[in-house]
Amino acid sequence: MTAEIHRTGTPAELISALTHGNVQDPYPLYDELREVNDGVHWAEELGGWLCTRYDDVRSIYTDPEVFSSDFYSSLIENVHGVPEGEHERFMAIFLQQFMLTDPPAHTQIRSLLRGAFTPRALTRWPQMIAQITDELLEEVNPGADIDVMADFAPRVPIQVIAAMLGIPPEDTARFRVWTDAFVGTFNPRIAGDERDRIVSESLALFEYLEDLVEHRRVHPAGDLITLVATASVEDDGPLTVSKAVAQLALLLAAGNETMANLIGSGMTMLIENPRAQQRLREDPGLVGAAIEEMLRLDPPFHLVPRRVTKSTTMGGHQLEPGQLCWGLLSSANRDPRIFPNAGTFRINRDTNPHLSFVHGIHFCLGAPLARMEGEIVFSKLLQRYPGLTAGAQPAVRKTEAIVARGWRTRPVRLGSPA
């Protein structure tokens, strides 16, 4: 199909700008990509297809027999090349995380972990989350500007997920670098020295978790590390140390990245929508709906791929086995076919079927925790500060992180506490 020329360029030029350019606001480009070529584009930089419309993106995650979660090897082969040395050692552990598997392996591991994220299990944590939030906010000078992404957003989820896992508080200072690296391994843009650094940091995380797993097998405790370290899978017996480490690294990294990005994007939306901010103070019962709208408008993860296993069509295009198919969640969430006034922050939407936690059998296991953390954190911020406004310095996105395109800096003026 011949690409139409739009004001920013051809679809190939738009994709190149997103993957190689310094695009601070990607949403106008997403809007254009959604409306040409039936919303489906070949993306050389991603080593596969890019799907931008809601129904197509949702379908990718609904049919695991056609769109497999075992995609990472294809990503490496299509984009990065054959792994060697440290990269091989990294891959041997990394590929065992249940997020990168299909049933029945996926179902077995997910079933082991599910109990820790049920509503009943999560009743243990609200008081702790509130206490962590209060303590961090106490460190802020009244009326001062803070960079939310440096001083607050990553510190809350790291402390929360570390407590759930059973990681000593004094060790959490290392985790921001490690979890950023782990998430960065999904970025098709990484190469050369940066790729080597990310693999090295990820291996340091694996080695740290290996020690904890081995310790918990001898000295069990009532935490997630013990649950995973001592778990058995039907027909396969106890999890190997490396398989246990892969699951724990995923929980740690996803728990941090999801919530840190949600806080950054949510603060941005509150700053840009002072009326909605005030309404949430007047009616705190709406905070839960506001969290869903924050997730929809700027999801923590923009791109989630799958590997095509059978010939199929999408938007009139032929997809072949072995190709990658990337769902652009952040575009699907703003598809006007599904969401009226799709680019507007509206906390009173009748329905909000966003795809920020994906869909189907791989729906985010930690979604209930992220929602709970979000409600507590933003309720505390709104109660404590009568006005949240932009800081003196501009906010800057992590433009190189096209998979998790969160904020690198998000200066905020909190004002004096109420």
Q: Which domains does the chain have, with CATH numbers?
A: 11-413 (1.10.630.10)
Q: Which of 400, 299, 340, 330 is nearest to 33 (CA)?
A: 330
Q: Under 8 Å CB-to-CB from 189, ≥6 apart: which residues?
A: 19, 20, 45, 400, 402
List phi, psi (to 5°) of 390.
-65, 145
Question: What is the pLDDT tens value at each position of the chain, 418 positions in all?
Answer: 333 334 456 888 888 888 877 788 999 999 999 999 999 999 988 889 999 999 999 999 999 999 999 998 887 765 555 556 788 889 999 999 999 999 999 999 999 999 999 999 999 999 999 999 999 999 987 777 899 999 999 999 999 999 999 998 889 888 888 998 998 888 877 778 888 898 999 999 999 999 999 999 999 998 999 999 999 987 778 999 999 999 999 999 999 999 999 999 999 999 999 999 999 999 999 999 999 999 999 999 999 999 999 999 999 999 999 999 999 999 999 999 999 999 999 999 999 999 999 999 999 999 999 999 999 999 999 999 988 999 999 999 987 778 888 999 999 998 777 7
Q: Burial letters for 136-145: b for 16+ Cβ neighbours within 10 Å, e otherwise?
A: bbeebeeeeb
List phi, psi (to 5°) of 49.
-95, 145
Q: How many CB atoms lie within 10 A of CB 274?
A: 12
